[in-house]
Amino acid sequence: MRSIWQGTLAFGLVSIPVKLYSASEDKDPRMHYLHRPCLQPVRYKKVCSACGEEVPESELALGHEYAPGQYVLVEKEELEEVSGRDAEDRRIEILQFPRAEELDAVYFMKPYYLEPQAGGHRAYQLLRQALDGAERVALCRFVMRRRVRLATLRPYQGQAMALETMHAPDEVRSVADLDLGESVSPSEPELRLAQALIDTLAGPFVPHDHPDAYRARLEDLLGRKAAQAPAAAERPVGEDMGELLARLRASLELEGAHA
């Protein structure tokens, strides 16, 4: 695995050097848009919606649409200023230690693994065991990709700790607008039957008991298609005008040198 962030975890006056790794990965086979006659990927260009010109990298800028069709430029330095902390801050700051059941899962975004670095293993395991014994998690704040993020740190699978980034409170939608049928009251027999069904299907969650059936079928389809495809050959001439012109020029230069 390759780390995506590194810095220190502040536990009181103890600083634990750590690295952050993504705890999950997307394994769906990658799909591309192809030009059907050529069977080659389609390239996308950045084109201005007003003048129709292709925009070079040097002319790209960030902006915010404050009214329909009206934008203001926002500079990178301005984004760093409004972060509220140094955008290059490399510290995970523990704010408090709530109980895990006090945190609703709807706030969680993405899980990561936290790995101790040289000199930090003892303090890392100390914090992990202390959290485990207290049956609490650590509510943290840190800067990731130039944005201050809230996160939860908790013991994971015996020896490790997992960190999950969290949504801000106002990013979680309210259920107030949902039609939940509050006026409907199930009868006692209905509740007893529903509970009986739940008891019948009760059991621990075993991740490997629930493989991704769609991905397995998709991989099987793609494997069969690849086996039936013709052997790899030279790319058809004309699918890339720039490449074709370059080859023609190189050929002319080569012939001229031989003349």
Nearest-5° Cα angle at 21, 18 to 26: 175
194 in a structural domain: no
Let me know: does 99 contact 17? Beta carbons within 8 Å: no
Let me know: does 100 contact 108? Beta carbons within 8 Å: no
E runs forming strands in the chain: 5-11, 14-22, 34-35, 40-41, 62-67, 70-74, 91-96, 108-116, 138-144, 147-156, 160-166
pLDDT given for residue 235 in this prediction: 55
- Between the CA atoms of 248, 253, 255 and 259, what dihedral angle is there, to the nearest 10 degrees? 160
CA atoms of 5 and 89, how far apart (whole Å): 11
pLDDT given for residue 180 in this prediction: 86
85 in a structural domain: yes
pLDDT given for residue 167 in this prediction: 95
What pLDDT, in 10s, does the model give residues 11-42?
Answer: 888 899 999 999 998 889 999 999 999 889 99
61 in a structural domain: no
Write out the residue range of the structural domain in which residue 138 sits. Answer: 1-24+75-170
Beta strand 5-11 pairing with 91-96: parallel
pLDDT given for residue 231 in this prediction: 75
CA atoms of 5 and 116, how far apart (whole Å): 12
3-class secondary structure, 142: strand
pLDDT given for residue 247 in this prediction: 63
Instruction: Name residues whose C-beta falls within 8 Å of residue 85's C-beta, 6 or more positions apart in sequence.
Output: 143, 148
Buried b (16+ CB within 10 A) or exposed e, 48-77: eeeeeeeeeeeeeeeeeeeeeeeeeeeeee
67 in a structural domain: no
86 in a structural domain: yes
120 in a structural domain: yes
CA atoms of 240 and 42, how far apart (whole Å): 10
DSSP string across 178-223? S---TT----HHHHHHHHHHHHHT-----GGGS--HHHHHHHHHHH
47 in a structural domain: no
63 in a structural domain: no
Instruction: Name residues whose C-beta falls within 8 Å of residue 107's C-beta, 6 or more positions apart in sequence.
Output: 166, 167, 169, 172
We report the CATH number of the domain holding residue 158 as 2.40.290.10
Q: pLDDT tens track of the chain, all 259 residues?
A: 899 999 999 988 889 999 999 999 888 999 999 999 988 999 888 999 999 999 999 999 999 999 999 999 999 888 877 766 665 678 999 999 999 999 999 999 999 999 999 999 999 999 999 999 999 999 999 998 878 899 999 999 999 999 999 999 999 999 988 888 877 888 999 999 999 999 999 999 898 998 889 889 988 988 988 888 887 655 555 445 566 666 666 666 665 655 5
Let me know: does 143 contact 87? Beta carbons within 8 Å: yes
**Domain count for the chain:** 1
pLDDT given for residue 94 in this prediction: 95
pLDDT given for residue 147 in this prediction: 84
Instruction: Name residues whose C-beta falls within 8 Å of residue 71's C-beta, 6 or more positions apart in sequence.
Output: 63, 64, 65
Work out the burial of residue 176: count CB atoms within 10 Å of its CB; fewer than 13 is exposed, 13-18 middle, 19 or more buried.
exposed
